[in-house]
Structure 1
Amino acid sequence: MAQYSLDAVQGNEQKHKTYWNRVWEYFNKKTFTSTRNANSPMNRWSTIQLQTNKFVGILASIEMVNPSGVNEQNKIIKAKEAYLKVQAVPFKFDHCWNILRHQPKWLELVAKPQKSQTIRRSTATSSPSTL
């Protein structure tokens, strides 16, 4: 997937649907003919991105503490332990994270400060059951 978003000719100028069709075609050529449609890799990417973002957030919080004498590998191990504790399942996208973590496009997204999400309450329209 990264090869298509980093493609110098197509790059990020391609339309959303075009990109995912290219990924789907590549998948079918490299693996096997499948009854899955072009939405399948897009849905899989959503899962990978969500879980990887959670892992990156945990790793970033460990790196911010910057414990003395802890190398990068130990921070990653601590992040995996924390991920398991929070998510109740082990982080299973190491192979994806290892590719993404060095990509400029990914680094830009990770570096952007995230706006905190707040729930806006309107006393006239909300109740505990609707929040």
Structure 2
Amino acid sequence: MASYSPGFVSLLTSQTGEFSTPGFVNLSGSESIDLESPDLPAFSSQSSEASTVKERKKWSPKENVILISAWLNTNKDPIVGNEQKLGTFWSRIQNYYNSSVQHVGLDTRELGQCKQRWGRLNNLVCKFCGCYDAALRDQSSGENDNDVMKKALDMFFNDHGCKFTLEHAWRELRHDKKWASA
């Protein structure tokens, strides 16, 4: 336990100043602020000017498919292969994504946005692949692909507590070696 010198504690408790809270010292030297006033001063992180934070744009299924295509083509490039740095790899994906012919009429995305979205896509699709494989192994005689898919979606919901909404992404990735059924 920390022990305080009696002089320090008595100094704090003796200086109530214009505040009603005992022990509070106004180090800024400014006057008190009326919290009921509509003219509260802005903090340094607040600004009356327009905010520089960009509005969040949701990813559409079409954008997801373009990103998947960009990742697969960049990742499987036989000329460059794995001889590229992380920043170079993601800048190539960003350039591929933004210059895609399917991308016409869509907003451009920054490198960080592509990387973050890919991380989420990859994570959820990998989890769903596990559920789909379990449903496939559990397939009974007479069950078709739709039954297996329904069972896999139910497993995903039970395991992760949310619906799997990236079926379009899974359909793009499921035949690739990384996501293929065993």
Q: How far apart are 1:47 and its partner, in Å?
A: 0.5
Give the counterpart of 1:49 among 105, 122, 131.
122
Q: How far apart are 1:102 and its partner, in Å?
A: 0.8
**Unaligned regions of 5+ residues in structure 2, if any?**
1-70
Amino acid aligned to 1:9: I
Percent of aligned pairs with the same amino acid: 29
Aligned position for 2:133: 60
Q: How far apart are 1:52 and its partner, in Å?
A: 0.8
**Unaligned regions of 5+ residues in structure 1, if any?**
112-131
* RMSD, aligned CA: 2.3
Instruction: State the secondary structure of the residue aligned to 1:7.
Output: coil
Q: How far apart are 1:48 and its partner, in Å?
A: 0.7
**CA distance in 2: counterparts of 1:12 and 1:70, whole angstroms:** 41
Q: Which structure's residues are more often helix, by fraction?
A: 1
Aligned position for 2:91: 21
Give the counterpart of 1:82 among 155, 167, 180.
155
Q: How many residues align?
A: 108
- Residues 1-131 of structure 1: pairs in structure 2 closer than 5 A: 1-30=71-100, 31=103, 34=108, 37-107=110-180
**CA distance in 2: counterparts of 1:73 and 1:13, whole angstroms:** 41
Higher relative contact order (Cα pairs below 8 Å, separated by 6+ residues): 2
Normalising by structure 2, report the TM-score.
0.51
